[in-house]
Amino acid sequence: MFRIGPLEPVAPVVLAPMAGVTNAPFRAMCREFAPGLIYVNEMVMASALVNGNAKTQRMITFADGESPRSLQLYGSDPVTMGEAVRRLCDADRVDHIDLNFGCPAAKVTRKGGGAAVPAKPRLLRSILRAAVGAAAPYGVPVTAKFRMGLTDDLLTFRLTGRIAVEEGVAAIALHARTAEQHYAGAADWAAIGELKDAVAEIPVLGNGDIWEAADALAMMRATGCDGVVIGRGCLGRPWLFADLVAVLNGLAPAPTPLLGQVVETMARHARLLAGHLGENLAMRDFRKHTAWYLTGYPVGGEVRRRFSNVSTLAELDDLIAALDPTLAVVPGGERIRRGHTNGPIRVALPAGYLDDPDDATPPDDADVMALSGG
């Protein structure tokens, strides 16, 4: 039985935290198709939680009855991290906390945060210790998600995994790319196997390039990993989670839906988001989702453009009504990349950052308030 601490999801499948995407409405759509999995909220700054701001409070919204309530925190200061975790647990706001050590955004790594932290193993250890120590009295499991390292010459994932075990982390997830690689090229699944070999004590989850349910099986077989983390593959395709549960139980995935079913899901998602953010803000935010839902369906550029400018729910309904619901996805349409695809990037680091890996001084990242994830 797959478990993360006390959590026992129905299958070893986790929704990857995605900033600006995996909010309560998005998770509700996924849960509709596959209840009982772990769906992680978008990343929240530990310092924003401690200093309190209204936007952060909205970001940590969970649906009534959502279980488990899973949240990713970003932070590079052990004291702030410990305090954020303690507050969340003490107020009974979460059932699971994931820590982000993979964010490659220049704004973050330039200060020594995110994907830069594992290059300073002592700092990494103290952040993990603070989080696990704060969560332990409440029985809340802490997990960690990280990349292979900063660059091919600076691979830190095995050491990060060992430190995570030593500090009492309940499971680890590897996005099998370096920070430098960003989102380009193929994820290096061999690294997931190497991490699994290095860490036998806790579940090792593999992440990167699972576009269809069969890819999850292929990854688990190729690497021996205990479970999978799904990012871009579910953008505009929340039913992927149902396919994953089916396939991991030896069943066939459902056929890819026709456009009519897709836009019916799209319309419900938009309404949930409008309830969450208010229609105005929600519809602006929803524009990216329309592009993802339509990916692979030959609706034409003009239709896509109209969806990408949608401003109201009524307008969305009109656009949907004009579509041919019998349209099928193009062959291979499920695998068309969506979300981030760019890279490589030049990893920005503080001057002299790599000179002293034993330095455990927390980076000053207090001004890093708007991030783009991991």
Residues that bind ligand FMN (CB under 6 A): 16-21, 42-43, 72, 100, 102, 145, 175, 207-210, 230-233, 339-340, 373-374
Q: From residue 174, how far is each of 143, 178, 190, 205 by CA, in Å?
A: 11, 10, 11, 6
Minimal distance, residue 101 CB to ligand FMN, in Å: 8
Minimal distance, residue 251 CB to ligand FMN, in Å: 22
103 a catalytic residue: yes
Residues 6+ apart with CB under 8 A from 63: 24, 27, 28
Three-state DSSP at 211 gives: coil
- Catalytic-role residue among 30, 89, 103, 225: 103
Q: By C-beta, is 21 or 320 nearer to ligand FMN? A: 21
Q: Are 95 and 67 in contact (CB under 8 A)?
A: yes
Q: By C-beta, is 281 or 314 nearer to ligand FMN? A: 281
Region for 19 from its dihedrals, namely left if φ exceeds 0, alpha if ψ lies in -120 to 50, beta otherwise: beta
Q: Torsion over CA of 41, 46, 52 and 53, rounded to 10 degrees?
A: -50
Q: By C-beta, is 122 or 335 nearer to ligand FMN? A: 335
Q: How far apart are CA 87 and CA 91, in angstroms?
A: 6
Q: How far apart are CA 341 and CA 185, in angstroms?
A: 8
Three-state DSSP at 206 gives: strand
Backbone phi and psi for residue 105, each to the nearest 5 degrees, phi listed first? -60, 135
Q: DSSP class of residue 257? A: P
**Strands 227-230 and 204-207, sheet pairing:** parallel
A 10 A CB-CB count for 131 gives 29
Minimal distance, residue 134 CB to ligand FMN, in Å: 20
Minimal distance, residue 88 CB to ligand FMN, in Å: 17
Q: By C-beta, is 168 or 339 nearer to ligand FMN? A: 339
Q: By C-beta, is 15 or 283 nearer to ligand FMN? A: 15
Minimal distance, residue 288 CB to ligand FMN, in Å: 9
Enzyme catalytic residues: 103
